[in-house]
Structure 1
Amino acid sequence: MLVLCHASDVPDGDARGFLPGPDAPRRIIVYRRGETYRAYLDSCPHYRAGTPMSWRADAYMNCDRTHLVCFAHGALFDLETGVCVAGPCKGRRLTAIALMLRDNGDLCVSVSEARQP
């Protein structure tokens, strides 16, 4: 398992992107609601090869903070499921990443998931 971040690095009701290692091909987006954390690969499913979703560091939420948004396409994604609810890839979903929360507050991902293209 790789330490992605500490739970306190993600403000409640917000999302942050983290590189799981220096050779990782993509960031992993971590969203927090209370003590629940969800993680997705930072790759919009609109294009086959995917495209990063934020236009600047950690800009993953829409203005109302109700959805993750791809700023390249305007696609909106459900925070809990990763399903696109509006935009050019409606019905498709972000790639979910399994997180493990350790007793010390570290959020960890498996090595194989961290290296997804």
Structure 2
Amino acid sequence: MRICHLEDLPDGESCGFDPRGTGRDTVLIVRQGARLYAWENACPHHGTPMAWRKDAYLNAARDRIVCFAHGAEFEIDTGSCTLGPCLGQSLTPVPLNLHQDGEVYLAQPYPRRQS
């Protein structure tokens, strides 16, 4: 499933997407240069969405993903929690395929969050 084009993702920024068509962003992607990191938009602490507003998933330094409901911080490249109530837990990765033409696709099967 096509998500976007690489040019739609500003370098050093995060964006949310709704590939399931639920009416809310269920996937977040962070771009760092040519690398893309995609995660389920659900904090492992309670499964709540992570952003406080559209596409606002990063801290001020732009070096961690933040759950604004709980203050938890996660490494961008591994999804590991480094601070907060879910220390030792990780975000759920979402595999992507980046095509040579710059198109970004979800790899199949799309993972579902475990209850």
For normalisation by structure 1, the TM-score amounts to 0.89
Aligned-partner SS, 1:38: strand
Count matched residues. Answer: 113
> Paired residue for 1:55?
52
User: Which deviates the most, 83-92 or 15-24?
Assistant: 15-24
Distance 2:38 2:104 in 1: 10
C-alpha change, 1:82 and 1:27, in structure 2 (3 Å) is same
The one of the two structures with greater contact order (alpha-carbon pairs below 8 A, sep at least 6) is 1
Deviations 1:40-92 (A, max 9, x none): 00000001xx1100011000000111100000000000011000000000110
Structure 1 vs Structure 2 CA RMSD: 1.7
Aligned mate of 2:90, from 90, 93, 96 = 93
Q: CA deviation at 1:26?
A: 5.0
For normalisation by structure 2, the TM-score amounts to 0.90
Aligned-partner SS, 1:112: coil
Q: CA deviation at 1:22?
A: 2.0
> Paired residue for 1:80?
77
